Amino acid sequence: MIVFWVLAVVLLFSAVWTVAAKKPVHSLVALLLHFVALAFMYVSLMAEFIAMIQIIVYTGAILVLFVFVITLLSSGTGPFSTGPNRLPKAAVPAIVVILAGICFTVFATAHVAIVTPSASPSGSPLGVVGEAGVFGSVADFGRVLFTTYLLPFEITAFILMVAVIGVIVLAGDRTPIAGTKSRAQAVRKSMREAIWRGGEE
Protein backbone atom coordinates (compact mmCIF):
# COMPACT_ATOMS: atom_id res chain seq x y z
CA MET A 1 0.00 0.00 0.00
CA ILE A 2 2.90 2.37 0.71
CA VAL A 3 4.33 1.78 -2.78
CA PHE A 4 0.89 2.33 -4.31
CA TRP A 5 0.33 5.68 -2.57
CA VAL A 6 3.83 6.90 -3.41
CA LEU A 7 3.35 6.01 -7.06
CA ALA A 8 -0.12 7.57 -7.06
CA VAL A 9 1.25 10.86 -5.75
CA VAL A 10 4.07 10.81 -8.32
CA LEU A 11 1.60 10.08 -11.13
CA LEU A 12 -0.70 12.94 -10.14
CA PHE A 13 2.19 15.37 -9.67
CA SER A 14 3.80 14.49 -13.01
CA ALA A 15 0.46 14.73 -14.85
CA VAL A 16 -0.24 18.20 -13.46
CA TRP A 17 3.34 19.26 -14.17
CA THR A 18 3.05 18.08 -17.78
CA VAL A 19 0.03 20.30 -18.39
CA ALA A 20 1.08 23.28 -16.27
CA ALA A 21 4.73 23.59 -17.39
CA LYS A 22 5.46 26.74 -19.37
CA LYS A 23 8.29 25.25 -21.43
CA PRO A 24 7.74 22.20 -23.65
CA VAL A 25 11.01 20.63 -22.54
CA HIS A 26 9.84 20.70 -18.92
CA SER A 27 6.57 19.08 -19.99
CA LEU A 28 8.60 16.39 -21.72
CA VAL A 29 10.57 15.66 -18.55
CA ALA A 30 7.35 15.50 -16.54
CA LEU A 31 5.85 13.11 -19.07
CA LEU A 32 8.94 10.92 -18.80
CA LEU A 33 8.53 10.81 -15.02
CA HIS A 34 4.87 9.90 -15.50
CA PHE A 35 5.70 7.01 -17.85
CA VAL A 36 8.33 5.61 -15.50
CA ALA A 37 6.00 5.82 -12.48
CA LEU A 38 3.27 4.11 -14.48
CA ALA A 39 5.68 1.32 -15.39
CA PHE A 40 6.48 0.82 -11.70
CA MET A 41 2.74 0.68 -11.03
CA TYR A 42 2.43 -2.14 -13.56
CA VAL A 43 5.30 -3.97 -11.87
CA SER A 44 3.50 -3.70 -8.52
CA LEU A 45 0.46 -5.34 -10.20
CA MET A 46 2.65 -8.27 -11.39
CA ALA A 47 2.30 -7.18 -15.04
CA GLU A 48 5.99 -7.11 -15.95
CA PHE A 49 5.41 -7.43 -19.68
CA ILE A 50 3.12 -4.40 -19.76
CA ALA A 51 5.68 -2.48 -17.70
CA MET A 52 8.43 -3.26 -20.22
CA ILE A 53 6.14 -2.31 -23.11
CA GLN A 54 5.43 0.96 -21.28
CA ILE A 55 9.16 1.72 -21.10
CA ILE A 56 10.09 0.49 -24.59
CA VAL A 57 7.15 1.85 -26.60
CA TYR A 58 6.06 4.99 -24.81
CA THR A 59 9.31 6.13 -23.22
CA GLY A 60 11.53 4.92 -26.05
CA ALA A 61 9.35 5.72 -29.08
CA ILE A 62 6.47 8.07 -28.31
CA LEU A 63 8.61 10.33 -26.13
CA VAL A 64 11.27 10.50 -28.86
CA LEU A 65 8.50 11.50 -31.27
CA PHE A 66 7.60 14.35 -28.95
CA VAL A 67 11.26 15.40 -28.90
CA PHE A 68 11.24 15.55 -32.71
CA VAL A 69 8.02 17.59 -32.62
CA ILE A 70 9.54 20.12 -30.21
CA THR A 71 12.71 20.26 -32.32
CA LEU A 72 10.78 20.90 -35.53
CA LEU A 73 8.60 23.57 -33.96
CA SER A 74 11.68 25.27 -32.50
CA SER A 75 13.54 25.39 -35.82
CA GLY A 76 14.01 28.83 -37.31
CA THR A 77 13.36 30.68 -34.06
CA GLY A 78 16.98 31.74 -33.58
CA PRO A 79 19.91 30.17 -31.78
CA PHE A 80 19.56 29.21 -28.16
CA SER A 81 21.64 31.03 -25.60
CA THR A 82 24.42 28.92 -24.16
CA GLY A 83 24.13 28.72 -20.40
CA PRO A 84 26.47 27.37 -17.74
CA ASN A 85 27.53 23.75 -17.77
CA ARG A 86 25.12 21.97 -15.40
CA LEU A 87 26.31 18.44 -16.15
CA PRO A 88 28.65 18.15 -13.10
CA LYS A 89 25.78 19.14 -10.78
CA ALA A 90 23.56 16.40 -12.24
CA ALA A 91 26.13 13.64 -11.64
CA VAL A 92 25.37 13.19 -7.93
CA PRO A 93 21.53 13.01 -8.32
CA ALA A 94 21.95 10.61 -11.25
CA ILE A 95 24.19 8.30 -9.21
CA VAL A 96 21.71 8.39 -6.32
CA VAL A 97 18.80 7.50 -8.61
CA ILE A 98 20.77 4.65 -10.24
CA LEU A 99 21.81 3.21 -6.88
CA ALA A 100 18.24 3.47 -5.60
CA GLY A 101 16.98 1.63 -8.67
CA ILE A 102 19.56 -1.12 -8.23
CA CYS A 103 18.70 -1.51 -4.54
CA PHE A 104 14.98 -1.64 -5.36
CA THR A 105 15.58 -4.29 -8.02
CA VAL A 106 17.71 -6.44 -5.69
CA PHE A 107 15.15 -6.11 -2.89
CA ALA A 108 12.24 -6.96 -5.20
CA THR A 109 13.94 -10.03 -6.66
CA ALA A 110 14.99 -11.29 -3.21
CA HIS A 111 11.52 -10.93 -1.68
CA VAL A 112 9.36 -11.96 -4.62
CA ALA A 113 6.35 -14.04 -3.64
CA ILE A 114 5.04 -16.98 -5.65
CA VAL A 115 1.35 -16.42 -6.25
CA THR A 116 -0.96 -19.39 -6.47
CA PRO A 117 -3.29 -19.37 -9.47
CA SER A 118 -6.67 -17.78 -8.78
CA ALA A 119 -9.31 -15.79 -10.60
CA SER A 120 -8.52 -12.20 -11.62
CA PRO A 121 -10.89 -9.36 -12.56
CA SER A 122 -9.88 -9.59 -16.23
CA GLY A 123 -10.87 -13.26 -16.44
CA SER A 124 -7.30 -14.53 -16.77
CA PRO A 125 -5.89 -16.62 -13.91
CA LEU A 126 -3.02 -15.33 -11.81
CA GLY A 127 0.16 -17.32 -11.90
CA VAL A 128 3.92 -17.36 -11.98
CA VAL A 129 5.57 -14.57 -13.96
CA GLY A 130 6.40 -15.75 -17.48
CA GLU A 131 3.76 -18.47 -17.60
CA ALA A 132 1.55 -18.45 -20.69
CA GLY A 133 -2.10 -17.47 -20.47
CA VAL A 134 -1.95 -15.81 -17.02
CA PHE A 135 -2.75 -12.24 -16.03
CA GLY A 136 -0.16 -9.83 -17.49
CA SER A 137 1.21 -12.31 -20.01
CA VAL A 138 1.76 -11.59 -23.69
CA ALA A 139 -1.32 -13.56 -24.73
CA ASP A 140 -3.53 -11.82 -22.18
CA PHE A 141 -2.21 -8.41 -23.18
CA GLY A 142 -2.69 -9.04 -26.90
CA ARG A 143 -6.20 -10.45 -26.44
CA VAL A 144 -7.37 -7.44 -24.41
CA LEU A 145 -5.62 -4.92 -26.69
CA PHE A 146 -7.09 -6.23 -29.95
CA THR A 147 -10.58 -7.03 -28.63
CA THR A 148 -11.76 -4.83 -25.75
CA TYR A 149 -9.51 -1.80 -26.34
CA LEU A 150 -9.11 -2.01 -30.12
CA LEU A 151 -11.02 1.24 -30.83
CA PRO A 152 -9.05 3.39 -28.32
CA PHE A 153 -5.83 1.87 -29.69
CA GLU A 154 -6.68 2.84 -33.27
CA ILE A 155 -7.89 6.32 -32.23
CA THR A 156 -4.60 6.92 -30.42
CA ALA A 157 -2.62 5.90 -33.50
CA PHE A 158 -4.75 8.23 -35.66
CA ILE A 159 -4.22 11.16 -33.27
CA LEU A 160 -0.46 10.62 -33.32
CA MET A 161 -0.46 10.54 -37.11
CA VAL A 162 -2.46 13.79 -37.27
CA ALA A 163 -0.04 15.39 -34.81
CA VAL A 164 2.97 14.44 -36.93
CA ILE A 165 1.33 15.78 -40.10
CA GLY A 166 0.44 19.01 -38.30
CA VAL A 167 4.03 19.50 -37.15
CA ILE A 168 5.33 18.95 -40.67
CA VAL A 169 2.88 21.53 -41.99
CA LEU A 170 3.78 24.05 -39.27
CA ALA A 171 7.54 23.58 -39.61
CA GLY A 172 7.65 23.14 -43.38
CA ASP A 173 8.93 25.52 -46.01
CA ARG A 174 6.61 28.49 -46.46
CA THR A 175 7.89 29.48 -49.93
CA PRO A 176 5.29 29.37 -52.72
CA ILE A 177 5.31 26.26 -54.87
CA ALA A 178 4.69 26.47 -58.62
CA GLY A 179 2.20 23.71 -59.30
CA THR A 180 2.14 23.91 -63.13
CA LYS A 181 4.64 24.67 -65.90
CA SER A 182 2.87 27.90 -66.84
CA ARG A 183 2.96 29.03 -63.22
CA ALA A 184 6.68 28.16 -63.02
CA GLN A 185 7.37 30.14 -66.19
CA ALA A 186 5.46 33.13 -64.82
CA VAL A 187 7.46 32.99 -61.59
CA ARG A 188 10.77 32.84 -63.50
CA LYS A 189 9.68 35.73 -65.73
CA SER A 190 8.74 37.90 -62.76
CA MET A 191 12.06 37.08 -61.10
CA ARG A 192 14.00 38.08 -64.25
CA GLU A 193 12.04 41.32 -64.47
CA ALA A 194 12.77 42.09 -60.83
CA ILE A 195 16.48 41.42 -61.34
CA TRP A 196 16.51 43.55 -64.53
CA ARG A 197 14.77 46.45 -62.78
CA GLY A 198 17.16 46.17 -59.89
CA GLY A 199 20.11 46.39 -62.30
CA GLU A 200 18.70 49.50 -63.95
CA GLU A 201 18.34 51.23 -60.59
* Whole-structure pTM value: 0.51
Measure the N-to-C terminal CA separation of the chain; round to a whole number of Å: 81
Give the long-range contacts of residues 120-128, CB within 8 A, separation 24 or more: 126/46
Pick one of 3.40.50.2300, 3.40.220.10, 1.20.120.1200, 3.20.20.80 as the CATH number of 1-76+115-139.
Answer: 1.20.120.1200
For residues 88-117, give the mean pLDDT: 75
For 108-135, the pLDDT digits (tens) are: 777 765 544 444 444 555 555 556 666 6
SS (H, E, C) 38-87: HHHHHHHCCCHHHHHHHHHHHHHHHHHHHHHHHHHHHCCCCCCCCCCCCH
- Domain extents in the chain: 1-76+115-139
Rounded to 10 degrees, the C-alpha dihedral 103/104/110/113 comes to: 170
Distance separating alpha carbons of residues 139 and 61, to the nearest angstrom: 22
